[in-house]
Amino acid sequence: MSELNNIALQIISSGKGILAADESTGTMTKRLKSFNVESSTNNRLLFRETLFSSSSMKECIGGVILYDETIKQTSTSGKKVPELISDSNSIPGIKVDTGAKTLANSEEEKITEGLDGLRERLKEYYNLGARFAKWRGVYIISKKYPSQISIYSNAHALARYAALVQECGMVPIVEPELLMDGNHNSEDCFKKTSEVIKKCYEQLELHKVELKGTILKPNMILPGSDSNEKIDTSKVAEMTIKCLKESVPSEVPGIAFLSGGQTEKEATKNLNEINIKNNTNFIMTFSYGRALQQSALKFWSKDLKNLKGTQEVFNHRAKMCSLASKGEWSEKIDKI
C-alpha cells in the first residue's frame, strides 16, 4: 500500500496539481462550440496533446485525468497519450464513472453510475498506463437537499469504486462535489459539505479503503452562485480549512480542489489563501479543468495552428496554480 501512497504524493507534492482533462465528448463539444471550433476527434486530441506536451507539465502538473476516448489515442508525435504524459514525469489517470443519473425517489438529485463492469475496465486502463482514477459524486444544496438518500447512495458508490481502484493497484480520487448552483450561503455550504465528506469517509473505512493511498477532490466553501452573500477570500479559506480539518481523517495525504464554476483567477486566488492559512498536515493543491484550460482554449480557437502560443497561455496558468499551491501567488504576477 506504500506504493499507492507514493503515487498519491507524486501527483500532488512539490507545487504540483492535477489537470482535469476528462471532459466527456458531449462536454468537450459544448466547450469547443462556444469558441466556434468543430468538435472532431482530431481537434479534441490536438488541443489536449498541445497542453500535455507543454513545458509546464514537468514543473506544475503531477497528474492528468483522461477520458476514455483520450487514453486510447495516439498523439501526432506517434506516442500514445499516456506515454506523452509519463514522459513529462506526470502520471496518467482516468475518469471511470459513467455519469450522474436521476436518483430514484429523489428526482431532483443525482446518483453517479458506473460500478457494473468496473473491475474489468480498471484492468484495461491499468494496462493502458493509468495509475490513478476519478469518480465524481454530485450533490445539490437547498433547504431540503442534499437528502439522506443522496448523501448515503453517493458515499456508498464512491467507497465501492475506491476499493476496486486500489485492488487494481491505482490511487482513487474521491470527488464529492456540492454544486455552486443555488442561493444558499457559505454557512449552508459548510454544513452540508461537512456532512457529505464525513459520510464518504465512514463508507470508505467500512469498505477497508487504505486512506493513505487516496486523494480527496472537494469543493471549496463558497456561497451559491445566486446568493446575495459577499464573501472575501480570507473567509473562503478559513471556512474551507475548518471544514476539512473537522471532516477528513489525518491519514489522507492530500486534497486537490475542484474549481467548480470559479473563474481562473478566483480559483487561483482562493487556493493561494487556503495555503497561506493552511494549519493542517494536508497538502492542499488543485485539480482544475476549466480553471486551467479556459484561457488556452480561447487563445487556440483563434488559430488552431498556433500551438506554441497556446502552450504559453497554458504554461502561465499552470504556473500560477502551482504558486498558489505553495501560497506564493500574487495578483501582480498574474498577468499575461
Q: What is the pLDDT of residues 144-180, one digit of tens each?
A: 999 999 999 999 999 999 999 999 999 999 999 999 9
Q: How far apart are CA 9 and CA 283, in angstroms?
A: 9
Burial of 43 (0-12, 13-18, 19+ CB in 10 A): middle
Q: What is the pLDDT of residues 177-202, one digit of tens each?
A: 999 999 999 999 999 999 999 999 99
The C-alpha cell that represents 105 in the structure block: 425517489
Catalytic residue status for 175:
yes
Segments making up each domain of the chain, as ranges:
2-333
Residue 111: its H or E element: strand 106-112
Residue 327: its H or E element: none
Tell me: pLDDT of 204 over 70: yes
Residue 234: its H or E element: helix 233-247
Q: What is the pLDDT of residues 301-319, one digit of tens each?
A: 999 999 999 999 999 999 9
Q: What is the pLDDT of residues 14-41, one digit of tens each?
A: 999 999 999 999 999 999 999 999 999 9
Which of the following is catalytic: 109, 175, 177, 264?
Answer: 175
Tell me: pLDDT of 246 over 70: yes
The proportion of the chain whose per-residue pLDDT surpasses 90, expressed as a percent, equals 99
Catalytic residue status for 38:
no
Of 298, 252, 197, 258, residue with least CA distance to 17: 258
Report yes or no: 173 and 65 within 8 Å, Cβ to Cβ.
Answer: yes
CATH of domain 2-333: 3.20.20.70
Q: Provide the 8-state DSSP code for 212.
A: G
Tell me: pLDDT of 336 over 80: no
For residue 128, the model assigns a pLDDT of: 98
Assign 206 a pLDDT band (cuts: 50, 70, 90): very high
Tell me: pLDDT of 46 over 70: yes
Q: What is the pLDDT of residues 254-302, one digit of tens each?
A: 999 999 989 999 999 999 999 999 999 999 999 999 999 999 999 999 9
For residue 161, the model assigns a pLDDT of: 98
Tell me: pLDDT of 64 over 90: yes
If you average pLDDT over residues 92-109, what whole number do you get? 97
Burial of 32 (0-12, 13-18, 19+ CB in 10 A): buried
Helix (H, G, I), strand (E, B) or coil at 112: strand
Which of the following is catalytic: 95, 192, 199, 217?
Answer: 217
Name the average pLDDT for the chain: 97
For residue 335, the model assigns a pLDDT of: 81
Question: Residue 284: which residues within 8 A CB-CB, separation 6 or more?
Answer: 254, 255, 257, 271, 274, 275, 278, 325
For residue 1, the model assigns a pLDDT of: 60
Report yes or no: 289 and 64 within 8 Å, Cβ to Cβ.
Answer: no
Distances from the Cα of 95 to the Cα of 22, 65, 70, 99, angstroms: 6, 6, 11, 10
Q: Provide the 8-state DSSP code for 331.
A: G
Q: How far apart are CA 20 and CA 265, in angstroms?
A: 17
